């Protein structure tokens, strides 16, 4: 991988770069006037611009990324560095990066380098030790294309389970905290604020939407073929569990709506809050048990499902990622407006695994950039200790900071 220097930076207002060339283009993108954007140690791209001289005077350990604002590799680098939280960052939007690819400089003492996403991410891991590893792991060679496709879909499903579990855990913990505050408040004191209840409703509403979309994906894309490849009735229990969860989720949603209409701190408010806590605990327990059964009983059958699909001529061996790509495309809301929410339910290493899956399985480059941009914008002001240690606390932190 050779060294690649971008064109010199010029101060001023950035012109509209338009559509970037494809990543494998052999023609360099046009040179445009760019902003030099300085950001705090844990922020990116939305900070006010500063002069190049001010940037050059910064700490020599600053990581610099140059790349098109419409380049998915540049956005993946930026998101990965946010999760790594290893050093301050500067991003310079630049269409002049060689072959439309981003350029990375790990410190003032390092050369500027360009390459594939995996090559640049491996450089980040080599320079900044510790978790999470941002470069994709070396995957063991699958016994067959069917096994490779099944492993990808199984990984996608498991990570979606982990995000849903943690968000339910976070909502339940928040309600338990509100109940505890209510018990300590005494008569005449209101310690639960209306804003807390509204944020609780937003948090739970997003979790419910992701869970329902995940269930629909399984019911339309996975379960029917598992049923055919195994034996009649194998998916009846999990489908029945999906049906039982919906009334429970709707009941919790109604309890939160009721809270918004009641006088804060009143006996009836506290009674509904306690009832909500009980319902959430029951939903948590049922959901965790349901996911455990799916992962032990359903996911091991995916290999035989894919073999059956190949024998029936429904799929080819050309792309082992085609099945996971279909699953990603099916979850439109989760992978658009709720993508930052979904990702904050994952631990950093899990987030890197899911990010790798999404980047390999999302065929629409513009949509992929939109997903990565939305995640970076939500993470840019977050304290890395929250990101690394408690994903649900991260989402609560972002809820408080939201307008």
Task: Say whether the peptide bond before residue 132 is cis (omega within 30 degrees of 0).
Answer: yes
* Structure confidence at residue 189 (pLDDT): 53
Of the candidates 107, 67, 71, 116, the residue with the CA atom closest to the CA atom of residue 86 = 107
* Structure confidence at residue 396 (pLDDT): 79
* Structure confidence at residue 398 (pLDDT): 75
Which tokens go with 177? 């905290």
Provide the whole-model pTM: 0.81
* Structure confidence at residue 231 (pLDDT): 67
* Structure confidence at residue 34 (pLDDT): 28
In this structure, are residues 72 and 56 in contact, taking their beta carbons and an 8 Å threshold? no
* Structure confidence at residue 53 (pLDDT): 45
Divide the 403 residues of the chain into consecutive groups of 10 and give the mean pLDDT of each group. Answer: 40 35 33 30 32 50 88 92 83 70 88 91 90 84 79 95 95 92 61 89 96 94 83 76 87 95 90 95 94 91 83 65 90 95 92 95 94 90 68 75 62
Contacts of 377 (CB under 8 A, 6+ apart): 45, 46, 340
Strand partners, 263: none
């Amino acid at each position: 991988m050779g060294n690649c220097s971008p064109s010199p930076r010029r101060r001023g207002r950035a012109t509209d770069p338009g559509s970037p060339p494809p990543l494998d283009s052999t023609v360099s993108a046009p040179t445009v006037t760019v902003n030099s954007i300085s950001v705090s140690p844990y922020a990116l791209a939305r900070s006010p611009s500063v002069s190049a001289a001010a940037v050059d005077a910064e700490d020599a350990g600053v990581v610099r990324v140059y790349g098109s604002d419409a380049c998915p590799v540049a956005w993946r680098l930026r998101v990965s560095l946010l999760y790594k939280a290893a050093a301050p960052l500067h991003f310079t939007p630049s269409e002049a990066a060689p072959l439309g690819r981003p350029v990375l400089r790990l410190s003032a003492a390092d050369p500027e380098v360009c390459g594939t996403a995996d090559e640049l991410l491996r450089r980040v891991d080599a320079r900044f030790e510790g978790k999470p590893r941002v470069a994709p792991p070396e995957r063991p060679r699958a016994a067959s294309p069917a096994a490779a496709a099944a492993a990808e879909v199984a990984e996608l499903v498991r990570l979606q389970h982990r995000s849903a579990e943690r968000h339910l855990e976070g909502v339940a913990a928040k309600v338990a905290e509100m109940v505890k505050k209510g018990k300590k408040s005494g008569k005449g004191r209101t310690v639960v604020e209306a804003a807390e209840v509204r944020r609780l409703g937003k948090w739970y509403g997003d979790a419910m939407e992701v869970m329902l979309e995940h269930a629909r994906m399984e019911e339309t894309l996975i379960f029917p073929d598992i049923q055919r490849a195994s034996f009649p009735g194998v998916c009846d229990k999990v489908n029945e569990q999906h049906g039982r969860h919906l009334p429970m989720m709707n009941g919790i949603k109604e309890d939160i709506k009721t809270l918004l209409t009641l006088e804060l701190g009143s006996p009836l408010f506290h009674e509904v809050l306690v009832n909500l806590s009980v319902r959430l605990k029951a939903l948590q327990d049922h959901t965790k048990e349901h996911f455990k059964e799916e992962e032990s009983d359903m996911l091991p059958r995916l290999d035989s499902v894919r073999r059956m699909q190949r024998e029936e001529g429904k799929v080819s061996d050309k792309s082992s990622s085609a099945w996971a790509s279909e699953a990603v495309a099916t979850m439109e809301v989760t992978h658009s407006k709720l993508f930052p929410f979904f990702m904050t339910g994952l631990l950093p290493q899990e987030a890197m695994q899911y990010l790798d899956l999404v980047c390999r399985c999302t065929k629409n480059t513009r949509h992929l950039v939109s997903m990565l941009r939305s995640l970076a914008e939500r993470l840019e002001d977050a304290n890395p200790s929250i990101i690394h240690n408690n994903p649900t606390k991260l989402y609560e932190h972002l809820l408080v900071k939201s307008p």
